[in-house]
Amino acid sequence: MNSELLIAGVDEAGRGPLVGAVVAAAVILNPDKPVTGLADSKKLTEKKREALAIEIKSSALAWSIVSVSAEEVDAINILQATMKAMKLAVEGLSVTPDHVQVDGNRCPDIEHSVEAIVKGDAKVQAISAASILAKVERDHQMHSLHQAYPEYGFDRHKGYGTKQHMEALLAHGPCPLHRKSFAPVKKLL
């Protein structure tokens, strides 16, 4: 790839959880304002992700974050919802990329040159940046959801099917933002 090309990195957060939106982010980094410490968001502490998210937003040439609701996840399935979020994140960029690099093994249907990169969040800086923005946004959503439904412990497990979450689901039943098409939730309906 030519270094003058504007590369957008794209990643998502929240494919696996039983509750809430799936979030995707797209980032075009500014080569004149490098962000140090970028890595796969899962390898960073929450505090480090928060700090990096602020830095990414202030120094990137462009960034965009999009959420697709749990209701839509149930309506079109998690893969389609993820692809939709990624597509909308790219379309939401204020700068048009020359090329898009997506974390994973599938590409959204977009009108740009695009490639999927397995483990891209660990290999490509722009994808790492997108991974961080998506994860931070999703975590913020889970903290807000915790305020509304503290009995589930969303602030701790972020909606994943942990022992604590499964026990809360059994005790309280699903909340309105649980993904009704996901097997552990579907069983309780």
- Identify whether 136 is part of a domain: yes
Helix (H, G, I), strand (E, B) or coil at 87: helix
pLDDT over 90 at 30, yes or no: yes
Strand spans (E) along 30-97: 62-68
Expressed as residue numbers, the domain containing 41 is: 7-140
The letter for the amino acid at 177 is: L
Query: 46-59 and 125-148 are packed helices; what angle lies between their axes, rounded to 10 degrees?
Result: 120
DSSP structure class, residue 124: -
- Residues 35, 50: Cα–Cα separation, whole Å: 13
- Residues 39, 99: Cα–Cα separation, whole Å: 21
Per-residue pLDDT, 3: 55
Dihedral Cα 54, 94, 103, 132, nearest 10 deg: 10
pLDDT over 90 at 55, yes or no: yes
Q: Which two tokens stand for residue 79?
A: 């893969």
CATH code, domain with 77: 3.30.420.10
Q: Kindly report, residue by residue over 97-131, the tens digit of the pLDDT.
A: 999 999 999 999 999 999 999 999 999 999 999 99
- Count the domains in the chain: 1
Per-residue pLDDT, 189: 87
- Identify whether 15 is part of a domain: yes
Q: Kindly report, residue by residue over 133-144, the tens digit of the pLDDT.
A: 999 999 999 999
Stretch among 28-32, 40-44, 51-55, 107-111 having the lowest mean pLDDT: 40-44
- Identify whether 166 is part of a domain: no
